[in-house]
Structure 1
Amino acid sequence: MRTVQLAREHGLSTQAVRNHEAAGVLPAAARTAAGYRVYDERHAASLRAYLALVGGHGYPAAREVLRRVHAGDVDGALARLDAAHAALDAERAVVETVAGLLHRLGGPAPVTRRGSEPISAVAHRLRLRPATLRRWERSGLLRPGRDPSTGHRRYGPDDVRDAHVVHQLRRGGLPLAAIAPVMDELRGGGDPSAAAAALDARRAALARRSRSALAGAAHLHALLELVGA
Structure 2
Amino acid sequence: MNTAAVAAASGYSAQQVRDLEALGVIPAAARSPNGYRQFSAAHVRALRAYRHLAHAVGPVEARRAMREVHRQPPDRAAALVCGLHAGLNHEREQALAARLALEAIRAEATTEAAPVDGDSMTITELSQALGVKTSTLRFWEQVGLVASERVTTRSGTARRYTLTAIREARITAALRAGGYRIPDVQNAITAVRDLNEVSHSVAALDTRLEAIAQRALALLRAGTLLAEIIESARQRDETGGDFA
* TM-score, normalisation: structure 2: 0.62
Task: State the Cα distance separating 1:33 from its structure 2 match.
Answer: 2.0
Aligned partner (choices 108, 120, 145) of residue 112 of structure 1:
120
Q: Which residue of 1 aligns with 2:38?
A: 38
Aligned-pair identity (%) = 31
Change in CA separation of 1:155 and 1:52 when aligned onto 2, cut-off 3 Å: farther
Q: 8 Å contact 1:61–1:81 — kept in the other structure?
A: no
> Which residue identity is paired with 1:216?
A
Count of residues in correspondence between the two structures: 183
Report the secondary structure of 1:27's partner residue: coil
> Which residue identity is paired with 2:217?
R
Within 2, Cα distance between the matches of 1:225 and 1:50?
17
Task: State the Cα distance separating 1:72 from its structure 2 match.
Answer: 4.4
> Which residue identity is paired with 1:53?
L
Q: Which residue of 2 aligns with 1:202?
A: 208
Within 1, Cα distance between the matches of 2:68 and 2:85?
17
Task: State the Cα distance separating 1:216 from its structure 2 match.
Answer: 0.6
Task: State the Cα distance separating 1:49 from its structure 2 match.
Answer: 1.4
Pairwise mapping of residues 57-206 of structure 1 onto structure 2 (< 5 A)? 57-106=57-106, 107-108=108-109, 112-114=120-122, 156-162=161-167, 168-169=191-192, 171-172=194-195, 176=197, 178-179=198-199, 182=200, 195-206=201-212
- Residue deviations 1:183-229 (CA, integer Å, cap 9, x gap): xxxxxxxxxxxx33212211110110010010011111122334426
Within 1, Cα distance between the matches of 2:41 and 2:22?
18
Change in CA separation of 1:36 and 1:201 when aligned onto 2, cut-off 3 Å: same
Q: 8 Å contact 2:25–2:50 — kept in the other structure?
A: yes
Task: State the Cα distance separating 1:12 from its structure 2 match.
Answer: 1.6
Within 1, Cα distance between the matches of 2:121 and 2:220?
49
Q: 8 Å contact 1:64–1:77 — kept in the other structure?
A: no
Deviates more, 1:201-210 or 1:32-41: 32-41
Task: State the Cα distance separating 1:10 from its structure 2 match.
Answer: 2.7
Within 2, Cα distance between the matches of 1:54 and 1:159?
36
Q: 8 Å contact 1:27–1:43 — kept in the other structure?
A: yes
Within 2, Cα distance between the matches of 1:37 and 1:167?
51
Structure 1 stretches of at least 4 aligned residues deviating more than 6 Å after TM superposition = 163-167
Within 2, Cα distance between the matches of 1:155 and 1:3?
66
Within 2, Cα distance between the matches of 1:170 and 1:82?
27
Q: What 5-or-longer segments of structure 2 have no aligned partner?
A: 112-118, 124-140, 152-158, 172-187, 237-244
Whichever structure has more strand as a proportion of its residues is 2
Q: Which residue of 2 aligns with 1:137?
A: none
> Which residue identity is paired with 1:214?
L
Change in CA separation of 1:112 and 1:88 when aligned onto 2, cut-off 3 Å: same
Q: 8 Å contact 2:55–2:218 — kept in the other structure?
A: yes
* TM-score, normalisation: structure 1: 0.66
Q: What 5-or-longer segments of structure 1 have no aligned partner?
A: 116-121, 127-144, 148-153, 183-194
- Residue deviations 1:130-158 (CA, integer Å, cap 9, x gap): xxxxxxxxxxxxxxx9x8xxxxxx97253
Within 2, Cα distance between the matches of 1:216 and 1:32?
30
Matched, 1:13 2:20: no
Q: Which residue of 2 aligns with 1:219?
A: 225
Change in CA separation of 1:226 and 1:79 when aligned onto 2, cut-off 3 Å: closer
Within 2, Cα distance between the matches of 1:199 and 1:222?
35
